[in-house]
Amino acid sequence: MTDVIVSSTGTRSTTKDAATLLKQFRITDADLDLVRQFGDKIRPKIDAFVDQFYVWLAEQPFKYEFFMDDAHVQEVRTQQTKYWHDFFDAKIDDDFVETRRHIGRVHAKIELPLDIYMAAMNNCLENCVDVLMADEEPGNERQRTLLAIAKLMHFDEMITADTYSQVTNEVMLEQSKSMIEMSTPVTAIWDDILMLPLVGIIDSKRALDITARVLEEIGRTQSSCFILDISGVAIIDTAVANYLIKITKACRLMGCEPLISGLSPAIAQTIVNLGIDVGTIQTTGNLREALKHAFDHVGMTVTEK
């Protein structure tokens, strides 16, 4: 049976090397030459347009305040300046690709939406177009330069966005993993009565775990009644029902009477629709009913004082 592992859903294009990625984006050496040549013209303006970007950012009303303490701004500003110098150096190797992945990872870690990153890309593109328009070069030469810049920007954006979603997916999988691994506390709530409130998601691994714990506790306490409360279980499908049936059967074999409590009307209906025969297992809608049955079974009555 499959163990719960972090799936490899996210590891796609971002693991490709620089050469493969360049090919995928049809970026040629001639393109990179054009970007480099243009770099000589835009490089003196980088500081100014990066400044301009942070002025714009500071004016944004929404949730980027935490971005705005001075030390932080200074750091990201320096990084962005370096980003554009690297960009117009246009030396695209694996190290370069790694710097773009890093940006994706950082954004994902602090849950910063990619809007800001894209806005910075746009800001640069606008400035490039301004410089190109003022240029003396013939029109088609300028267009080729603009195309080369746009291709390289898309290249950057793809790597960053892909890494971003990869990290986000991993975080989500980690969260669901911890949901699966929630503990299974089997407790003796009374002499002879054991109870296990099941919460979360039951998968194959956890079902085995639960069965083992329950049987161990029955053996240890020699209890004669076991209440399994499933009101906190997210889904009862045929596989989960099958596990529950197996647990209750094993229970009986050890001379302990199983009771399943906490079947909501919707879940009860679903079990009926699936066609599952719960046989002679006693089921109740709530824990209170189950307790009554349990006391009855062990020969006790609860009376008011």
- Helical residues (DSSP H) of 25-114, grouped into ranges: 29-42, 46-59, 70-89, 94-109
Q: Quick one: 50 or 240, whose CB is closer to ligand ATP?
A: 240
Of 18, 276, 287, 298, the one binding another protein (CB under 8 A) is 276
Torsion angle in degrees (nearest 10) through CA of 106, 109, 114, 119: -40
CB-nearer residue toward ligand ATP: 106 or 276: 276
Number of residues that bind ligand ATP (CB under 6 A): 2
The verdict on 275 binding another protein (CB under 8 A) reads: yes
Surface-to-core class of residue 25, CB atoms within 10 Å of its CB (0-12 exposed, 13-18 middle, 19+ buried): middle
Nearest to 177 by CA among 198, 201, 196: 201
Q: What is the spatial order of strands in the sheet that 282-284 belongs to?
A: 187-190, 193-200, 225-233, 257-261, 282-284
- Name the token pair of 261: 């409590």
Question: In this chain, which of 73, 116, 131, 173 binds another protein, going by CB under 8 A?
Answer: 173
Instruction: Figure out which of the listed residues 31, 192, 203, 217 binds another protein, where binding follows CB under 8 A.
Output: 203
- Which of 11, 28, 143, 242 binds another protein (CB under 8 A)? It is 242
Measured from the CB atom, is 212 or 239 closer to ligand ATP? 239
Residue 197: beta bridge partners?
229
Phi, psi of 204, rounded to the nearest 5 degrees:
-60, -40
301 binds, among another protein, ligand ATP, none (CB under 5 to 8 A by kind): none
Residues 202-241: x where in contact with ligand ATP by CB under 6 A, - otherwise, as a string: ------------------------------------xx--
User: Which residues from 238-277 bind ligand ATP, rule CB under 6 A?
Assistant: 238-239
Binding site for ligand ATP (CB under 6 A): 238-239
